[in-house]
Amino acid sequence: MKTYTRRTVLFQTALTVAYPQATAARYDVIVQGGQVVDPSQNLSAVRDIAIAGGKVARIAESIPAAEARQVIDARGMLVTPGLIDLHVHVYDGVAPLGIPADPNCIAKGVTTVVDAGSAGAHTFPGLRKYVINVVDTRVFALLNISVVGQSTLSPDNPWGELIDLRLANPKLAIKTIEQNRDVILGIKIRMTENIAGRHDLQALKLAREASDAVNLPLMVHIGGSFSTLPQILALLRKGDVITHSYRQGAGGILDDRNRVLGEVRKAVRDGVNLDIGHGAGSFSWATAEAALAQDLPPGTISSDVHQYNVAGPVLDLATTLSKFVHLGMKLEDVIARATANPARTLGFPRGLGSLREGSYGDVAIFKMTEGDFVLQDSVKQSRTVHRRLMPVATLKSGRLYGSASIPVVTL
Ligand SMILES: [Zn+2]
């Protein structure tokens, strides 16, 4: 039995944080005894993780608690690299769909997110100044090809940012990206008809022009577009991302007999990444079941969490991941799609989405809760899932997040 000078218990979670007597601690923190799933190194086993100077210093079967200033007891928990959500909207207060980043991302095990097009060239400086530079969540962005970003569309104003093609401005997009290459990882365009009208392909060509000029990928939001998905896919190239891949209805990946379109398989073979982007209207249990039955898994699983789905059906990325566990994907394959896989897209800095020694000290701790949970998709269809990932605690660069939101009592 270890002895501790004091012991801190996080209520609700039964997660214990302890401070061993250590005079010359080698590590800042050890996450001890969790079931570690790290697809970047094909690891799925009980491990201790030691972090020093914000990086993973050591991962091993046993690391003495006395070597750290702080020990987190993760026995019985699932421990993964800090999750990466490739599609969120955190331009709170500017884009109508924006939500605050920290309570919805880092507080839920997601240490790194990509704001997918909430800002365009004219509104990006504010995203950087008031969100990226100040929140605890590590926020990157895809720049909307429209100068106004996603500031026009809301339930009471159903006209999107490209309804007037003159708002698509590759020159300004290129300039904004050149000034912010450390945080802008690509370009975003939404193709739905009330957003991009009947000139959607012209808008996509302008986005392509900007993307080629800065040599960064495009993320294309599909569904309900005037032009067909094969016409859209014809303009994409290796490294580009299709989001809302498992949506229902017109403009999706299935034909009218529920078979995966040949053009979609070709795009995937050519290196286009299929992203989920669950959202308020873009994930269907039926499409997911059909696609997986035809061996078309997604490349990345993202939430598209925003104002109009954060209270349901999305809630958070962990809930979207739980849906894929229910769909029959192995837990390791699901976690890969929110860690190692997104880390390989879009040109993130190296060392994200992994617990290899030298990586960012980003760790997510979950409880795999068993029971009967009714989870809805975006078209009001439900499935009862029996295992659900519940976020317990998050470390970013070795710092435990959430002392303000998780009750902590020192005994
Ligand atoms: Zn979105």
User: What is the spatial distance between Cα 127 and Cα 137, in angstroms, rounded to a whole number?
Assistant: 13
Q: How many A from CA of 190 to the centre of ligand 1? A: 8
List the 83-88 sheet strands across, edge first: 83-88, 110-120, 138-144, 184-190, 218-221, 241-243, 273-274
Q: How many A from CA of 262 to the centre of ligand 1? A: 26
Q: How many A from CA of 16 to the centre of ligand 1? A: 36
Q: How many A from CA of 220 to the centre of ligand 1? A: 10
Q: How many A from CA of 150 to the centre of ligand 1? A: 9
CA distances from 123 to 54, 86, 95, 118, 150 (A): 32, 20, 9, 9, 9
Give CATH 2.30.40.10 domain extents, the chain. Answer: 4-80+358-366+391-410
Per-residue pLDDT of the chain (411 residues; tens, 9 = 90+): 344 444 443 444 556 777 665 457 899 999 999 999 999 999 999 999 999 999 999 999 999 999 999 999 999 999 999 999 999 999 999 999 999 999 999 999 999 999 999 999 999 999 999 999 999 999 999 999 999 999 999 999 999 999 999 999 999 999 999 999 999 999 999 999 999 999 999 999 999 999 999 999 999 999 999 999 999 999 999 999 999 999 999 999 999 999 999 999 999 999 999 999 999 999 999 999 999 999 999 999 999 999 999 999 999 999 999 999 999 999 999 999 999 999 999 989 999 999 999 999 999 999 999 999 999 999 999 999 999 999 999 999 999 997 533 333 222
Q: How many A from CA of 71 to the centre of ligand 1? A: 38
Q: How many A from CA of 4 to the centre of ligand 1? A: 46
Q: How many A from CA of 360 to the centre of ligand 1? A: 26
Q: How many A from CA of 387 to the centre of ligand 1? A: 27
User: 7 - beta bridge partners?
Assistant: 18
Q: How many A from CA of 243 to the centre of ligand 1? A: 8
Q: How many A from CA of 301 to the centre of ligand 1? A: 13
- Residue 45's H or E segment, with its range, is strand 43-52
Q: How many A from CA of 189 to the centre of ligand 1? A: 10
Q: How many A from CA of 265 to the centre of ligand 1? A: 23
Q: How many A from CA of 410 to the centre of ligand 1? A: 41
Q: How many A from CA of 188 to the centre of ligand 1? A: 9
Q: Is 87 helix (H, G, I), strand (E, B) or coil?
A: strand
Packing angle of the helix pair 317-326, 285-293 (nearest 10 deg): 50
Q: How many A from CA of 232 to the centre of ligand 1? A: 18
Which CATH code fits 4-80+358-366+391-410? Answer: 2.30.40.10
Q: How many A from CA of 137 to the centre of ligand 1? A: 18
Q: How many A from CA of 333 to the centre of ligand 1? A: 23
Q: How many A from CA of 353 to the centre of ligand 1? A: 21
Which CATH code fits 81-344? Answer: 3.20.20.140
User: What is the spatial distance between Cα 275 and Cα 299, in angstroms, rounded to a whole number?
Assistant: 6
**Is residue 77 packed enough to be buried (19+ CB in 10 Å), middle (13-18) or exposed (0-12)?**
buried
Spatial contact of 275 and 241, defined as CB atoms under 8 Å apart: yes
Give CATH 3.20.20.140 domain extents, the chain. Answer: 81-344
Q: How many A from CA of 87 to the centre of ligand 1? A: 6
Q: How many A from CA of 307 to the centre of ligand 1? A: 11
Read off the pTM.
Answer: 0.93
Q: How many A from CA of 76 to the centre of ligand 1? A: 34
